[in-house]
A and B are shown apart, each in its own frame.
Chain A
Amino acid sequence: RKEVEQDPGPFNVPEGATVAFNCTYSNSASQSFFWYRQDCRKEPKLLMSVYSSGNEDGRFTAQLNRASQYISLLIRDSKLSDSATYLCVVNTLIKAAGNKLTFGGGTRVLVKP
């Protein structure tokens, strides 16, 4: 089983609609969680961190469910510019001074007019 799993999509979303997708992780000791966005042929860029209480950044809402070991991302009022691959990322402490991020395979979102 992969450490971090995502539905690869693509999710075809009409402009203005809401889309949501999840990511599951297997290591219950994982400490922190992130969503990254990656555009075609570009490097991943941090979209937002994910907190237990849930957090919102504009049209984006992220949620963490530790009991069921998944995180979610919801995008409201989708824009064409939201088309990208969204990577779920899980951070695990490896040593006292180090940490390791494990990436999901990404969920591709295509927003269409």
Chain B
Amino acid sequence: DVKVTQSSRYLVKRTGEKVFLECVQDMDHENMFWYRQDPGLGLRLIYFSYDVKMKEKGDIPEGYSVSREKKERFSLILESASTNQTSMYLCASSGEARGYTFGSGTRLTVV
């Protein structure tokens, strides 16, 4: 089975801090995605990448950036964390035009 690993399950950061969320997949998948999930808003796509060093903006990229230096790793960066970025962040991986496998999520709280 594909395994998608997110580095932290829970994080608490201060406003203005730079935050790195790491995601690693072990199945050589080309496509990787970052979502955030908020009550009443569902999952919203932040950024995705379909190859090393490639990135595409999703629906809500503002305040975020990403890095894909290696195929297996896709990092989400909050340049200056704000309280409205408190959320559940989910990384996903897909190797073809079908469903994804998700990581177990990182619940980020910005205080």
Contact = CB atoms under 8 A, between A and B. Distances in A.
Interface of A: 31-32, 34, 36, 42-46, 49, 87, 89, 91, 93-95, 97-106
A100 B100 CA distance: 10
B50 interface: yes
25 contacts: A34-B99, A36-B99, A42-B105, A43-B103, A43-B105, A44-B43, A46-B100, A49-B98, A87-B42, A89-B99, A91-B97, A91-B98, A97-B51, A98-B31, A98-B48, A98-B50, A99-B50, A100-B45, A100-B48, A101-B92, A101-B100, A103-B35, A105-B40, A105-B42, A106-B42
Contacts of A44: 43, 90, 102
Interface in B59-106: 90, 92, 94, 97-105
B56 interface: yes
Interface of B: 30-31, 33, 35, 40-43, 45, 48, 50-51, 56, 58, 90, 92, 94, 97-105
Contacts of A94: 50, 56
Given A43-B90, A43-B102, A43-B104, 7 more contacts: A36-B99, A44-B102, A95-B50, A98-B50, A100-B48, A101-B33, A101-B100
Nearest to A99: B97
A36 B99 CA distance: 9
A9 to B, nearest CB: 13
A20 B42 CA distance: 20
B73 to A, nearest CB: 18
Contact of A32 (B41, B43, B90, B97): B97
